[in-house]
């Protein structure tokens, strides 16, 4: 009968839930039959030891199978946990602040925290995590195309920016976040002594006390069929460098003996679309044709009147064609059967935005282009652990803390913060910079058990570049005054020079820009003198 019990233990039923109970009943029945006819003497003792050993192995197998059927951990999950590499903080007692994202929100929050006055026991350890090794001053990416700035000026290395601080930097991608500070209401908080854990794609596990979500957003390239394959976004340093390379390829190919024009289609007439159109049109000159497509009936609908009027004049002077009131429905190669070549033309299908009745809708309009630039749509990058609003952003309270998570702050494109009238704030660098200042202060206040400040956004005005030596600036305190042309261009560059991350980088860039301006001025004077000499 003992052999019968062993055979029963290897039955396919062992993998079913509840199998341990049936096996326990079966083993009692086998035990009673065995002891009712057990032999005596040494043979009995040897058989009894064999029975005890068999029963131990049987029950061990039953417990393992029962645990696995009930959802217990297996060898693979144990190995996965062991394979994680915990991030080693320099001090276990000091508060640990992990900042996800090194854009305007994340970097400036870290710098703000480092600049505040702390007691020795409360001074936090700050870890900044970003997928890139460079901080990108995005409003000045257009100057890379116009050759006004160098990469190191608008995209310095984090290692250089943080060299004189206590902030530590880690280049990695965020895989997931596991917060431990969730609260059911204001009076009941999690008993956990830490804020949670961040899991990075490299396998590093970061345990934190406080967390800042500042991961920003990415351009939505899946809104229209063919956009992902045939259009270029313009949001990151990699996007700007890719566009620069593409323009150089087209210029080498088209600006030869035949002098073929380059057709560029820009989807979106917001600030990014208009600044990009003006810059590209100025660069290509008469050898290029730029067209702007948008569903709105006017460019930059949220911009001040002065900026919008100045932009319209500049675009008109550079022969930029506006296709307003249309939306793109498809982007495809002009001829998919044509022989392979490096630069292929594409066709954009446009439809009127105001055609409600599809039966009476006018036929589609088709537009050919050598290059399509996509500047519309954005997707906030928020870990799945947090609920989001309609724009994909985390809901925050007035102190920038994520609702339900008192140890987590969210700023920039990741945060659905509202102004005093209850409207969601725009995802601009100006908003992120002000949020970073408040987030840094409120983290200091939370760690030192001080009251937190409610975030109050102050609109300072709007600026835009329209190419080399041309721009438009409308300050909030002079709404009816717009600085344009060279004056607007200079005011914008000085404002951005002031907003660069650190004093050291600010001085280096200022000296570089001053030297470039001196060279340009000398070249202009020299050219003017030579022109006058030739006329005389």
Taking residues 214-218, what's their average pLDDT?
Answer: 93
Instruction: Kindly tell me if the per-residue pLDDT of 205 is higher than 50.
Output: yes
Q: Looking at domain 85-218+379-448, what is its CATH homologous superfamily?
A: FAD/NAD(P)-binding domain (3.50.50.60)
pTM, two decimals, is 0.80
Say what the pLDDT of residue 24 is.
Answer: 37
Instruction: Kindly tell me if the per-residue pLDDT of 199 is higher than 80.
Output: yes
Name the CA radius of gyration of the chain, rounded. 33
Predicted confidence band of residue 21 (pLDDT cuts 50, 70, 90): very low
* Sheet with 371-374, edge to edge strand ranges: 232-233, 371-374, 262-267, 288-294, 321-324
Contacts of residue 530, defined as CB under 8 A and 6 or more positions apart, other chains included, come to none
**E-only strand ranges, 163-275:** 168-171, 174-179, 196-200, 204-208, 210-213, 217-219, 232-233, 262-267
Print burial letters for 358-367: b (CB count within 10 Å at least 16), e (below 16): eeeeeeeeeb
Could you state, in order of their start, the residue ranges of all structural domains in the chain?
A: 85-218+379-448, 231-376
Task: Measure the CA–CA gap between 301 and 283, rounded to whole angstroms.
Answer: 25
Query: Could you check whether 85-218+379-448 and 231-376 share the same CATH topology?
Result: yes
Instruction: Kindly tell me if the per-residue pLDDT of 458 is higher than 60.
Output: yes
Q: How many CB atoms lie within 10 A of CB 188?
A: 8
Predicted confidence band of residue 495 (pLDDT cuts 50, 70, 90): very high
DSSP lists the bridge partners of residue 143 as none
Give the H or E element holding residue 136: none
Predicted confidence band of residue 127 (pLDDT cuts 50, 70, 90): very high
Q: Looking at domain 231-376, what is its CATH homologous superfamily?
A: FAD/NAD(P)-binding domain (3.50.50.60)
Q: Which of the residue ranges 106-110, 351-355, 401-405 would you say has the lowest mean pLDDT?
A: 351-355
Instruction: Kindly tell me if the per-residue pLDDT of 37 is higher than 70.
Output: no
Which residue in this structure is represented by tokens 């004189």?
164
Question: With left for phi above 0 and alpha for psi between -120 and 50, is residue 400 left, alpha or beta?
Answer: left
Length of the chain: 536
Predicted confidence band of residue 35 (pLDDT cuts 50, 70, 90): very low
Instruction: Kindly tell me if the per-residue pLDDT of 361 is higher than 70.
Output: no
Say what the pLDDT of residue 96 is.
Answer: 96
């Amino acid at each position: 009968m003992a052999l019968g019990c062993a055979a029963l233990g290897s039955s396919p039923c062992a993998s079913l839930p509840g199998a341990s109970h049936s096996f326990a009943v079966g083993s009692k029945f086998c035990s009673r039959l065995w002891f009712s006819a057990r032999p005596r003497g040494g043979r009995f003792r040897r058989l009894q030891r064999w029975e005890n050993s068999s029963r131990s192995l049987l029950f061990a197998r039953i417990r393992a199978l029962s645990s696995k059927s009930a959802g217990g951990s297996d060898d693979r999950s144990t190995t996965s946990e062991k394979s994680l590499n915990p991030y080693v903080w320099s001090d276990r007692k000091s508060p640990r602040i992990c900042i996800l994202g090194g854009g305007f929100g994340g970097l400036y929050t870290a710098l703000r925290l480092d600049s505040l006055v702390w007691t020795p026991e409360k001074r936090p350890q700050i870890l900044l995590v970003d997928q890139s090794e460079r901080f990108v001053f995005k409003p000045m990416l257009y100057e890379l195309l116009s050759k006004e700035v160098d990469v190191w000026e608008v995209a310095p290395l984090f290692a250089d920016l943080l060299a004189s601080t206590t902030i530590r930097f880690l280049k990695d991608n965020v895989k997931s976040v596991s917060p431990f500070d969730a609260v059911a209401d204001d009076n009941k908080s999690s008993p956990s002594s830490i804020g949670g854990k961040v899991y990075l794609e490299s396998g590093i596990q970061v345990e934190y006390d406080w967390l800042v979500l500042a991961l920003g957003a990415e351009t939505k390239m899946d809104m229209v069929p063919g956009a992902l394959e045939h259009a270029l976004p313009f949001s990151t340093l990699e996007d700007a460098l890719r566009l620069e390379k593409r323009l150089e390829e087209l210029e080498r190919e088209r600006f030869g003996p035949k002098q073929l024009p380059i057709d560029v289609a820009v989807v979106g007439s917001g600030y990014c679309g208009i600044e990009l159109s003006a810059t590209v049109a100025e660069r290509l000159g008469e050898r290029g044709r730029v067209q702007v497509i948008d569903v709105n009936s006017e460019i930059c609908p949220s911009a001040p009147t002065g900026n919008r009027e100045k932009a319209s004049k500049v675009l008109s002077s550079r022969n930029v064609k506006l296709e307003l009131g249309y939306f793109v429905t498809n982007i495809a190669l002009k001829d998919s059967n044509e022989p392979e070549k490096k630069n292929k033309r594409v066709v954009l299908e446009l439809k009127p935005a105001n055609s409600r009745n599809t039966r009476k809708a006018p036929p589609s309009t088709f537009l050919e282009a050598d290059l399509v630039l996509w500047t519309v749509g954005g997707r906030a990058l928020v870990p799945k652990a947090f609920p989001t609003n309609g724009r994909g952003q985390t809901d925050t309270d007035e102190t920038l803390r994520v609702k339900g998570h008192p140890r987590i702050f969210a700023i920039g494109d990741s945060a659905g913060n509202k102004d005093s009238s209850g409207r969601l704030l725009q995802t601009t660098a100006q908003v992120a910079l002000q949020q970073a200042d408040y987030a840094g202060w409120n983290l200091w206040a939370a760690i030192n058990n001080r009251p937190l400040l409610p975030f109050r956004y102050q609109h300072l005005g709007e600026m835009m570049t329209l190419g080399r030596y041309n721009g438009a600036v409308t300050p909030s305190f002079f709404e009816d005054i717009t600085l344009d042309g060279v004056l607007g261009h200079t005011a914008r560059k000085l404002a951005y020079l002031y907003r660069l991350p650190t004093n050291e980088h600010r001085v280096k860039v200022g000296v570089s820009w001053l030297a470039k301006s001196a060279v340009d001025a000398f070249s202009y004077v020299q050219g003017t003198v030579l022109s006058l000499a030739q006329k005389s």
